[in-house]
Amino acid sequence: MSTIQDVILVRHGESVSNVTQRFAYRTWDPPLTERGQRQAQALATALRTLPISCLATSPLLRTRKTIEPLSQALGIDPLVVDDLMEVNLGRWDGALMEEISVSETDKDLYAAWRKDPEAFPPPGGESVLAVGRRILRGLDRLLDDHSGTLVVAATHGDCLKGAALAALGAPGECARRMKSPNVGMVFLARDADRRWRLNLAPALTAGDV
């Protein structure tokens, strides 16, 4: 067995929550938009020739629908991994960002979170590094149980940021310097000593994206 285990973390395609600017964690589970569905198909086209041995997804609909075309192309059923879940948004779950930004109760907290989501997580929610460590713990368990060449795991935007920062040992405040577009990817590898590292993305041909 290889001493390096590779993982591609993928953010879900565009969802209804993205276009409405509404937080979605547990109380609301929005679907992909039509654009998000096209992005999921394009993702499958880009990745289906890679030596993928395992697929995983967060429990939420937008990630499950993002990985579905790749699952169908490869004939691999994705594993639902709770640790790939969206960041815990605490009491902001299901709320419109515009409403929170002007709320007497939350506007100052929201402004602080927008500036530094590590130091000022949502009330009752998770910090960026807490999310990243959760993601890596879930991936550790997944790799321990499913050895192989390559794992593709569908998750969420702040999860990609947190996992990258946790793998690098970088401060969580750097999250606001990172952008995580829909169907954006983070390439990770775990070595024989169970240490995580961030890989540069392999080259894809123009026809793949």
Walk me through the domains of the chain, giving residue ranges and CATH numbers: 5-89+126-199 (3.40.50.1240)
Question: Does residue 158 carry a pLDDT above 90?
Answer: yes
pLDDT band at 167 (very low <50, low <70, confident <90, very high): very high
Mean pLDDT over residues 151-172, rounded? 96
> pLDDT tens for residues 51-75?
999 999 999 999 999 999 999 999 9
Instruction: Give me the DSSP letters along the chain.
Output: --S-EEEEEEEPPPBHHHHHTB--SSS----B-HHHHHHHHHHHHHHTTS---EEEE-SSHHHHHHHHHHHHHHT-PPEE-GGGPPPP-GGGTT-BHHHHHH-TTTHHHHHHHHH-TTTSPPTTS--HHHHHHHHHHHHHHHHHHS-SSEEEEEE-HHHHHHHHHHHHT--GGGGGG----TT-EEEEEE-TTS-EEEEPPPP--GGG-
Question: Does residue 148 carry a pLDDT above 80?
Answer: no
> pLDDT tens for residues 18-29?
999 999 988 889
Question: Does residue 4 carry a pLDDT above 80?
Answer: no
Q: Model-level pTM?
A: 0.92
Is the pLDDT higher at 147 or at 194?
194
